[in-house]
Structure 1
Amino acid sequence: MHSSPADGSASHGSTLRVLVVEDNRDLAKLFCDLLEVMGCTTEAVFTARTALDSMRGLAPDLVFCDLRLPGGRSGFDLAADMRADPALAGIRMIAVSGYADQVERERALDAGFERVFEKPVKFAQMMEVLKDLRGSG
């Protein structure tokens, strides 16, 4: 986990801050390593409950979130919590799932995720999201 500049923003070409919410610690580390190679500052958390606290500190530009998480709160729950909090509602979210059927994909999009990526997430998919985010604003 790395610290990030507090005053940067994606729209001004600064380093993107990305939160990875993934219960598989090896996969979370791989995700963060790839994102850092792509010029991002990252933080990984392993449950939806810890994600909300991390978001308030990191102020991420983007969240990659596993839909199925331990601890009684899913990625869907996290999305609902984020959308209900004015300070977090504008953060862009990408769902990640190893089990995403069409119903789960639609549910994720309805919950506020922009896209749903199947595991393993492809490098090109991550690059596309970062390019879109850097180009927005």
Structure 2
Amino acid sequence: MSELRSDPAVKSLLERMPKSIQDSFTEEQLSHLKIAIGARQWGNHVIDYRGVIKIFRYRYYYVLLAGRNRRVLSIKEQKIASVAQAIFFIGVFSLITVLTFLFLYLIKSALGIDMFKGFSLGIWDWFKS
């Protein structure tokens, strides 16, 4: 048996065909089949989580894959990725900024520093309770 016929992807494809058709492929045809179906293989991912949820009488599957991107992105995909990355970093920066100000406000309130007489955001009272 040739090396291509023992490849798991090609073997899986050939097993779904009648024996006479399986034997009719040349090595060149098999190599082109492997290239064509190879683009659809998932490969290994750092996170590969799959499952099924049953809702009433229907079953839905979900897949969460994450890992290093080895694909070549089109110009449109690169622009979308840049915008998504900018939104992500702005969100993280905003969260860190808000948490930092909250922490500093709590420290100020704990030390009894009153910047505006008679005005309070109520965060210190909420935190104490």
Q: Choose 1 or 2 for highest CA Rg.
A: 2
Asked which structure has the greater RCO (Cα within 8 Å, sep 6+), the reply is 1
The structure carrying a bigger strand percent of its residues is 1
Using the size of structure 1 for normalisation, the TM-score is 0.20
Using the size of structure 2 for normalisation, the TM-score is 0.21
The structure carrying a bigger helix percent of its residues is 2
